[in-house]
Amino acid sequence: MKRFWVLVGLTGALGAHGCAHTGRNPVETRAREIFTVEYREDAVPVRRVVAFPVDQVWAALPAAFTALGYPGAPSVHRDERVFLTPYLAVRDRLYPEEPNSAYFVCARTNSVAAAVDAWKITFAILVRLVPEGGGQTAVDVILDGNATDRSERTMSVSCTGTGRLEGALLDLIERHARASSAP
């Protein structure tokens, strides 16, 4: 079962290597648009509790997404404290020097290769903030997507993150929140 999140945000243009992001190419943006993004309700987030109040972490999210090279925007439901990307497509590799299996876990297929390294991947990232006691914030990051066979477009399997990309985003969120508290 999927849950829908609607956001107002910026769209990204495709970078080199046929994917929505590479570490070397800035994301181009257009005017504000509305996106609908689906996430599996049972998707397990990568969670980190940071020592900053929720408003400070919320303010750090745009810079963290920009630093990672991904477009992102808050959900139209501002009280939910959800920030997310539109769907991003990986046509070859997310990063040229590493296999996609370093970042995504997808179901295996009948083919010899795992879908994650052989098929086109489409994914989105969702960050949800939950206030904790003592001025801390729980930051949940969900990477959810699917892989589609390039030759047999009707074949598709679900994908989640390995925790590596989610951890990199969490590090950036924490770094930007810390920088905003410096005098």
Q: Report residue 111 as tokens.
A: 């083919």
In the CATH scheme, what is the code of domain 2-181? Answer: 3.30.530
Q: What pTM did the predictor assign?
A: 0.80
pLDDT value of position 47: 97
- Tens digit of each residue's pLDDT (9 = 90 or more) over 68-114: 999 988 888 778 899 989 899 987 888 888 999 999 988 766 654 57
- Tens digit of each residue's pLDDT (9 = 90 or more) over 22-49: 332 333 334 456 677 877 878 889 999 9
Q: Does the pLDDT value for residue 142 go beyond 70? A: yes
State the Cα–Cα distance between residues 57 and 77, nearest whole angstrom.
17
Whether 153 and 146 have beta carbons less than 8 Å apart is answered as no
Host H or E run for residue 62:
helix 54-68
**Nearest-10 Cα torsion for 26, 57, 103, 70:** -20
Kindly list the domain boundaries of the chain, sorted by start residue: 2-181
